[in-house]
Structure 1
Amino acid sequence: MPEEDNDDTRFEDSLEELEQIVKQLENGDLTLDESLETFEYGIKLVQKCNSKINMAEKKIEELIEENSELKTKQFTEFDD
C-alpha cells in the first residue's frame, strides 16, 4: 500500500517513489485492483511534482528582476 501523501515531501522523494511505482507496475505482480490503486496514487504524485515545478518556475521568475521589471528567462539561459 502506498504511503499517505504529505505536502512536506521533497520533490526528489516523490520522484523516487514514482520510480518505484513504475517498477511495481512493470513487474506485473500486483492484482488488477492493486495496480489500479497504485496507478492512481502515481498520478497524484505526478500532479504534486508538476505543482512543485510550477511553483519553482514562478519563484525563479520573481527573483529575476532588472530595473524593477520582471524578466522571464528560459531555464537554458542559466547554463554555466
Structure 2
Amino acid sequence: MNATTRKQQPASYEQACAELEQLVQQLESGQMSLDDTLKAYARGSQLLRYCREQLQAVEQQVQILEGGELKPFADERAREDD
C-alpha cells in the first residue's frame, strides 16, 4: 500500500466499497505488520467517510425529488405492486 493509494479519492461509491472489502480481508488475515495495519485502518476510515458522504448526498437528492419528504423504498415497491 503506497502513499498515493492511501490519499487518493475513489472514483465511485462502488470502487470505495470494493477497496474496503479488500482492506477488511487483509486485516482479518492477520498477516500485516503493525504499521501496515494502522495504515489500512486509516485508509478504511477515509473510505467509510467517503461512502457515508455519498449516501447522504443521494438521500438529499431523493428528498428533493420527493418534495422534501424522504419515503422508504419498501413503500414505493408496495405501491408499484398494487
Which interval holds the TM-score relative to the shorter structure? 0.7 to 0.9
Residue 36 of structure 1 and its aligned partner are, at CA, apart by 0.5
**Structure 1 equivalent of residue 8 of structure 2:** 5
**Structure 2 equivalent of residue 73 of structure 1:** 71
By percentage of residues, which structure has more strand? 1
By percentage of residues, which structure has more helix? 2
| Structure 1: distance between partners of 2:49 and 2:28 | 21
Residue 50 of structure 1 and its aligned partner are, at CA, apart by 0.3
**Structure 2 equivalent of residue 16 of structure 1:** 18
> How many residues end up aligned between the 2 structures?
75
Residue ranges of structure 1 left out of the alignment (5+ in a row):
none
Residue 29 of structure 1 and its aligned partner are, at CA, apart by 1.1
Structural RMSD (CA): 1.6
Tell me the amino acid that sits aligned with residue 5 of structure 1. Answer: Q
Tell me: higher relative CO, structure 1 or 2? Use CA pairs within 8 A at least 6 residues apart: 2
**Structure 1 equivalent of residue 66 of structure 2:** 64
Task: Indicate the percent of aligned positions where both proteins have the same amino acid.
Answer: 28
Matches within 5 A, 1:7-46: 9-46=11-48
Deviations 1:10-58 (A, max 9, x none): 1011001000000000111110010001111001100100000000000
